[in-house]
Structure 1
Amino acid sequence: MSDYDVVPGTVYLVEGSRQAGAPRDILLLPTPSSDLMDPLRWSKWRKAYHLFLLVAYSSLLGALTNWESVIYLNLTEAYRTPITNLNIGQAITLLLLGVGNVFFVPLSNKLGRRSIYIWTLVLVLASEIWMIFSRSIGDYQGAHVILGLGAAPFEALVAISISDVYFAHERGSKLGYYVFGLAFGSFVGPICAGYMTVDQGWRWIYQWGAILTGALLVLFYFTFEETHFVRSFDAQEGQVVSLENVGDEQRRRSLGSASLKVKEMDKDVGAELQRETTRGLIAGEVFESDSWTLQFTLWKIFPHSWIEVCREFYRPLQLSMFPAVLWCGINYGTCVSWLAVMGTTIAEVFARPPYLFSSSDLGLIWIFPMIGSLFGAYFSGPLNDRLTLYLSTRNRGWREPEFRLWAFIPSALIMPCGLVMYGVTSAHGLHWIVPIIGTGFVGFGLSVGGTVSIAYIVDCYKDIDTQAVTTIILIRNIVGFAITWGIQPWIDGMGQQNAFILVGVLSFVITGFAVVFIAFGKAFRRLMAKRYAGLAAEAARMSG
């Protein structure tokens, strides 16, 4: 294996030959520690329940931040304000969903993931109660400031929590569940909101929001376990390789791609460490621990200094210079923005002639993007994991993060087609089934865009995955904020048909840029290796 070029993100994942009938084992990355409290050693049911809570959390907050689309006309009448002011409230929420994570993710490294989830759910509950009694557009926009801050962790911290408990070969499918949870809430929420509005009145949307948030808060307080875990040196991923020594040692069959702590070793220690990591642990060999109990603590102090935590607040500015991080943030951001563009126009398009949909009918429209997102979650999760393992096997066991990006090729065609179908056909008053099928294609593209973007970055930069995911979400939401803020003047100026044609072209170009990273992504990672080594070394000091 000494002839293989290893750079950050390249890992030896599959033990065995690609010859027919040869045995193959999946190596466990990161390597679990000997501590039975390590979340990587949790039993399958504990991991499954942890994932269930995170998906439920994502679904609820996805609904709360999206289900107002069916009552836009009710809100304009109640507040006596144009739709543009409502879009400003939504844009502020999107912005704070990104900015909030700049602070919450570093704080989760100090106070624990559990603490951040609990306290931010309190903020969401407060925002829903405020909206119940709101009387003006000022109340609406103020409550959405609180909602944006409180809901922020579901944008980034959930993906990090999943990475805390699952191995590299499992992350794609588990992130697929998470992204589907986001899409499920975003699409089912408006369906429920439509029926609530017809049967109970539009303010009941917020009353049900408060009830469901309160129930989830109780569930998290008593049953959600802390997943942030500081591993000892011998359990870190990829420790035998130094980024500064690009020789034979960097091409060994290591469990990871980069060591940021080991600079020099004597021959005896180096040989012993190589023997340990060359063999590695494979799937099925880890003894699972099972010691779940009811939870009562509000926080857990980890041994990270507050100075290091404060430094993490501006880390996204440094990581935004990484080509992969920048592109994934823009790509994911535009995928979410196209959904927001569609959501802010549905009420205006389908509540008026020739469609004349009721509030409940407007909610039912979201069934189609939900179905599309379900297909997208399976395509970008389990199927993409299998593709990645297959390509790794053909690549002599070495996995490159770019193997995941092949999923973007069909998505780069499907999502733009959906946007053009929705915008152009509804502008001409064609039968309602045609634009609504287009919304299903958009749901597929959103699900693929979120799952693959996050999984790719976590694979590329595992040692700084929390900061990388935070940066992606920040870029994503800045893009979403700008587009949501300006979408109504954009449509008014260009017309609905031309606006959605332009949106479709932008979607094709940005998502289709994946071919550049498939071809040159490894070269980009090599180019940024030294900068990555420095950032990861700082992260390693913080963790230990």
Structure 2
Amino acid sequence: MATSFFAPPSDPNFVNYISKVAYFFTGAALTIGIGQFIWTPVAIKYGRRPVYIICFTLLTVCNIWAACAKSYGSMLAARLLTGIAAGAPELVAPLTLTDVFFLHQRGRVMAIYNCALALGSSLAVVILGIVINWTSWQVVFWILTGLSAICLLLMIFTVPETAYNRSIATVVDPVPIPITVLEKSDKSFEHVSRVPPPSPSACGRTSRTPYFKRFALIPKVYTGESIWLIMFRPVVLLALPGVLWATLINSVTVGMIIVLSSNFSTAFQNIYGFTVLQAGLTFISMAIGSLIAIVFAGHFSDWVADKLTQRNGGVRIPEMRLPALFVGVITGPLGGILYGAGFGLKLHWMCPVVGIGLIGFTVVQSMNVSLVYILDSYRPVSGEVIVTQSTFKACFGFLLGFYTNPWVAKDGYLGAFGAMGGIEGAILLGFIPFYYFGSHWRSASWKWGFIKRLAHWAEDREVGE
């Protein structure tokens, strides 16, 4: 892309041009987080479906714009706007999953979702290398245009609104609850009498909504909360200890992928003599690691939580999922060390490839466990929690884009990625104090004055969990 907008590789300033092209990706990563501040109040107040339709329409237009861009400024503007559009699915998809699936199913489905995100970034690199090797980078955006247009049609005709106004199903007349009454007789034995259960007609029901109403384009209002309060709440939630810790996990794990994406191709070409296609194929290991992580992020974390719930007399608290993070404590730092050592010590090319796979595994496993933990803790404001994590992650990734290459140039691959792996492991080790004290910290922080004023949700946001 640098040759399309600036100069050929023989130009002495070509290295600086590569850094400018990197803004196409780091800038989009930043606007993904910023855009979610726009989409959050819309998705919460007016439903998920309008956001899906608007964002995929905008995404399709932006991909066409990028494919036709003739100047650096035009391309950068298209990519920044693409980030705003792409931020919506990253926000609304977890909301949709929490709307549809129950508490005991959430770990597994969120693991599949997070794996899909990781597969998107890893397989996209592979496909990108193949397409560019045989055609041009413009073809990539035409492919993305077709994919986003297909998604738009699917959203319009097959995805109903999943937000639900629980006041619709309220019961008009009070329904007696089945109870057991114990009475002592003169013969000193207990007589049991039961109140018969209510008939099905006495319970509140909602009739099946016709197809055209379920897929209507005119949104409803699902909460009476102010748009501005919903938009500002993600900033306040960052002060909660659990949200801050989970956000740091999200940022450092995903930030590692952003760092890899900015220099892996150059590193493989310079050190191992790989072509662009061969360098892209190394990200297959990240796809494999992400797929394996589904088991440890979903089924394993649910199993850990279920076992600890049984030991707690059947009472479940969100922190019971956290011990599953011990897997990420091992794989995260190990992946960073293998990746850095492979390039820094010029080991066999499989060393950094295995490191990439372990990093992909850690992203899915640790991010899913920490995200589900926070969603379970603050389910009614799950949208704002997701925005808190995504926005902080986007800003963190954007800053890494500026400092990664100078850091690698100063300390080498082993020093830089070894340090990042160590930081990641230290943050993940936070699961130990949060497992023992997280419940107390949640309760205490929820009573802070500014949290009561700005973070507590309205009654119509309750979900019954």
1:538 and 2:446 are equivalent in the alignment = no
Q: Which residue of 2 aligns with 1:119?
A: 54
Q: Which residue of 2 aligns with 1:446?
A: 363
Q: Which residue of 2 aligns with 1:155?
A: 90
1:499 and 2:394 are equivalent in the alignment = no
**8 A Cα contact 2:265 2:280, kept in partner:** no
1:175 and 2:110 are equivalent in the alignment = yes
**8 A Cα contact 1:104 1:116, kept in partner:** yes
Per-residue deviation at 1:341? 0.6
CA 1:511–1:87 in 2, change beyond 3 Å: closer, same or farther? farther
Alpha-carbon distance between aligned partners in 1 of 2:320 and 2:405, rounded to the nearest angstrom: 38
1:393 and 2:310 are equivalent in the alignment = yes
CA 1:499–1:86 in 2, change beyond 3 Å: closer, same or farther? same
Q: Which residue of 2 aligns with 1:100?
A: 35
- From 316, 319, 333, the counterpart of 2:237: 319
1:46-445 matches, cutoff 5 A: 82-232=17-167, 293=211, 296-305=215-224, 308-352=226-270, 354-445=271-362
CA 1:116–1:367 in 2, change beyond 3 Å: closer, same or farther? same
Alpha-carbon distance between aligned partners in 2 of 1:158 and 1:310, rounded to the nearest angstrom: 22
Q: Which residue of 2 aligns with 1:488?
A: 405
Q: Which residue of 2 aligns with 1:26?
A: none
CA 1:202–1:489 in 2, change beyond 3 Å: closer, same or farther? same
CA 1:345–1:122 in 2, change beyond 3 Å: closer, same or farther? same
Find the residue that maps to 2:226 and give its secondary structure.
helix
CA 1:273–1:490 in 2, change beyond 3 Å: closer, same or farther? farther
CA 1:299–1:109 in 2, change beyond 3 Å: closer, same or farther? farther
Gaps of 5+ in 2: 181-204
Find the residue that maps to 1:152 and give its secondary structure.
helix
Q: Which residue of 2 aligns with 1:10?
A: none
CA 1:78–1:96 in 2, change beyond 3 Å: closer, same or farther? farther
CA 1:191–1:274 in 2, change beyond 3 Å: closer, same or farther? farther
What amino acid sits opposite 1:357 in the alignment?
Answer: F
Q: Which residue of 1 aligns with 2:426?
A: 509
Per-residue deviation at 1:478? 2.0
Q: Which residue of 1 aligns with 2:435?
A: 518
Gaps of 5+ in 1: 1-70, 236-268, 276-286
What amino acid sits opposite 1:327 in the alignment?
Answer: W
**8 A Cα contact 1:111 1:299, kept in partner:** no
Per-residue deviation at 1:202? 2.1
Per-residue displacement from partner, 1:144-198 (whole Å, max 9, x unpaired)?
Answer: 2111100002322211110011111111101011001101111111111111112
**8 A Cα contact 1:369 1:439, kept in partner:** yes
Aligned-residue Cα RMSD (Å) equals: 2.9
Q: Which residue of 1 aligns with 2:372?
A: 455
TM-score calculated relative to the size of structure 1? 0.73
Find the residue that maps to 2:347 and give its secondary structure.
coil
What amino acid sits opposite 1:340 in the alignment?
Answer: I
Alpha-carbon distance between aligned partners in 2 of 1:129 and 1:355, rounded to the nearest angstrom: 36
CA 1:274–1:535 in 2, change beyond 3 Å: closer, same or farther? farther
Where relative contact order (Cα < 8 A, 6+ residues apart) is larger, the structure is 1
Per-residue deviation at 1:497? 2.4
Per-residue deviation at 1:73? 8.0
Where does structure 1 differ by over 3 angstroms across 4 or more consecutive aligned residues? 71-81, 271-275, 287-296, 531-538, 541-544
Identity %: 26
Per-residue deviation at 1:303? 4.8
Alpha-carbon distance between aligned partners in 2 of 1:515 and 1:144, rounded to the nearest angstrom: 40
Alpha-carbon distance between aligned partners in 1 of 2:211 and 2:358, rounded to the nearest angstrom: 43
More helix by share: 2
CA 1:456–1:404 in 2, change beyond 3 Å: closer, same or farther? same
What amino acid sits opposite 1:297 in the alignment?
Answer: A
CA 1:292–1:440 in 2, change beyond 3 Å: closer, same or farther? farther
**8 A Cα contact 2:242 2:438, kept in partner:** yes
Per-residue displacement from partner, 1:260-305 (whole Å, max 9, x unpaired)?
Answer: xxxxxxxxx9x97999xxxxxxxxxxx9998784665324121534
Alpha-carbon distance between aligned partners in 2 of 1:139 and 1:422, rounded to the nearest angstrom: 35
CA 1:201–1:461 in 2, change beyond 3 Å: closer, same or farther? same
Per-residue deviation at 1:530? 2.3
CA 1:400–1:508 in 2, change beyond 3 Å: closer, same or farther? same
Alpha-carbon distance between aligned partners in 1 of 2:283 and 2:417, rounded to the nearest angstrom: 19
CA 1:377–1:149 in 2, change beyond 3 Å: closer, same or farther? same
